[in-house]
Amino acid sequence: MKKFASYLLWVGILATLAIPAFAETRTISWDPVTTYTDGTPIEAGKTVSYSAYWTTDPGLGSLHTIGTSLAATSTTFDPDVQGMTRGGTVYFTAKAVLNTGEASALSPAYSWVVPVVTPPVVTLTGVTVSGPSSVNEGGTGTYTATATWSDGTNTSVTPAWSVSPTTYASISSGGVLTASAVTSNQTATVTASYTSGGVTKTATRAVTIVNVPATAPAAPKNIGISGPVSSGATELWQLVWDPVTTYAGDSPLDPGRSVRYTVYWTDDPALTAGSLKLLASSVSANTVDFDPLGYPMVKNQVIYLTAQSVLDTGDQSSLAASIEWVVANAGPAPPAHGQIIKK
């Protein structure tokens, strides 16, 4: 029996390997096997396939398979996928296998230094801005920037922020926009500018600064006190004020809105928050009766009475202008010791 070819004849690995700049696929090839070891041709009807291997051992130990049952006289591989060390030397070998199962010996080792790959320089190609399209006056909105790179990736970046016109809004270095008070809806432009590797890209985003009507109700007006409205063991006095029917800006309350009132008294004419004492709350009418000595207020003490309106939305008015009152003042004593003097 004739022996099968003992080795393959390499066409030359390096000559057939493309050397791209990054992320590569290499091709290795060899001469086709057409004869037995003694040089006689392989009979018609018999086919040859190939198996290719690589190793870091020049003695061809510890083989790693590149491909088996290959009908063609070449195959491709990715050095990184194969686990080849960049800058290191590897050795290729192959064998031929007849369809009868007979296999050749391994071909002589062919050495190759795995090239070191330098990644391409990635450059900035664009910037985009994300964030709310509208911000209420007095409110805030946060904006972010994303950079696009020449390798197709996107990353979050911290750009230089600006907004115009500055009469409508301001923006921090962290991208937090603060809307100014406006009398009608206004448009501002948020701009992000980012520089990398000497390349600067900018992006803009329009934002509407929304005028928000005043939602607080007007404060009660024309507070007055009368009484006593009842006497006896308990002496009641009555506090009254005009009903609230408008918002703080004097526009009428929306249909369906309801108002309740909270009433306070204090001995501080400045009506400081810490001095206010509750007289009544959730009052639906525009009047309230009270017993001054039940709180307790001290007879003939000077106090100040005020009220606050509260919408069913929870919005509260400012305090009403207070009235000064002397607690349960019985009035001056009648004249006494009358006499007639002759002139």
Instruction: Tell me the sheet residues that pair with 195.
Output: 200
Two tokens at 169?
């809004």
CA distance 121 to 342: 121
- What is the SS3 assignment for 11? coil
**Among the four given CATH numbers 1.10.1040.10, 3.40.50.970, 2.60.40.1080, 1.10.10.1100, the one describing domain 124-210:** 2.60.40.1080
Specify the pLDDT at position 203: 97
CB atoms within 10 A of CB 107: 24
Q: What percent of the chain has pLDDT over 70?
A: 92
pLDDT tens, 192-227? Answer: 999 999 999 999 999 999 987 787 899 999 999 988
With vertex at residue 192, the alpha carbon angle to CA 191 and CA 195, rounded to the nearest 5 degrees, is: 140
List pLDDT tens digits, range 271-322. 999 999 999 999 999 999 999 888 888 888 999 999 999 999 899 999 999 9
Res. 338: pLDDT tops 80: no
CATH superfamily of the domain spanning 221-326: Immunoglobulins (2.60.40.10)
**Amino acid identity, position 6:** S
Other Cβ atoms less than 10 A from the Cβ of 273: the count is: 9
13-113 has CATH 3.40.710.10 classification: no
Encode pLDDT of 46-59 as tens digits: 999 999 999 999 99
DSSP string, 152-186: S-EEEE--EEEEE-TTTEEE-TTSEEEEPP-SS-E
Residue of 244, 230, 240, 132 lying closest to 178 (CA atoms): 132
CA count, 13 A, side-chain hemisphere, 131: 28
Determine whether 126 is exposed, middle or buried from the number of CB atoms within 10 Å of its CB (0-12, 13-18, 19+).
Answer: middle
CATH 2.60.40.10 residue spans of the chain: 13-113, 221-326
Lookup result for tokens 């709350």? 281
